[in-house]
Structure 1
């Protein structure tokens, strides 16, 4: 019988495979930390025409055991970043962090692309 965590890990592995197979985006890499598919390190490029342009932003992404039915537990930049959607502990905050705005169709790619887009155009929804 498949547990909730097993389902989340399977979804995560599928998402990671899709990113590796078709990575024509701002995502440089996404890898599990210590083999844990629900704890990921990611790197994205800085959006053009922003203070982050030409930079590489490293992110610590924690997914819940209920993924993809629940939003990420945390999205934290691994370095200091000044941005309206980033709090004092470098945690990214936006509507996708809230259950009422989360959709089970969201993937790891769409989470990271959302972060990238908010870096380019800050949202007041944090």
Structure 2
């Protein structure tokens, strides 16, 4: 990594760690190696969203050509959101692609991702299945996102017992829990459709 990139990342990490305003929004970072190329980001789910109470970890990889190239950021914690892949955690956000500018920082990136969690853009989705559910069956989307938040992001809210039972039924058939949750979520929690999908 170039000196420019190294100095810049050092400064940005310090900015996130020491800024109380950022800490209050529930954003944190942890440097994972000496070269500052691998960083773990943490975002608290925004209030009054299905992600409230959850803690979401992100993988941040800093390229050699930073800050002229955007960091590669994806969710490690599974999340049900139209602009984030439920399978890979890849995020559809313009500033991580063609709208990146060298003036942007890690702080801006993490705050923008948190804002995206608050205000999804289903018309420009990363995950078509989630976006369709968001637009066609919003209540179902919301309860699914809440279930994923309590399951994967450790939200203190109690899990939806009806969804829990359906997951257990698939587990009894030998399906891994994560796969059961995925398939049920993609099939609008219709157990027979999910079962047909798995075994067809």
Contact 1:19–1:109 (8 Å) recurs in 2: yes
Show the counterpart of 2:102: 104
Residue aligning to 1:15: 12
Moved over 4 A (4+): none
Q: Does 1:58 align with 2:57?
A: yes
Q: Whose relative contact order is higher, 1 or 2, with alpha carbons under 8 Å and at least 6 apart?
A: 1
- The equivalences for 1:1-126 within 5 A come to 5-25=2-22, 26-72=25-71, 74-87=72-85, 88-98=87-97, 100-123=98-121, 124=124
The structure whose Rg is larger is 2
Number of residue pairs the alignment of both structures matches: 121
Distance 1:32 1:39 in 2: 6
TM-score (norm 1): 0.86
Asked whether the equivalents of residues 8 and 67 of structure 1 are also in contact (C-alpha less than 8 Å), the reply is yes
Give unmatched runs, 5+ long, in structure 1. none
Q: CA RMSD in A?
A: 1.6
| Long gaps (5+) in structure 2 | 127-200
Aligned-residue offset at 1:34: 2.5
TM-score normalised by structure 2 residue count: 0.56
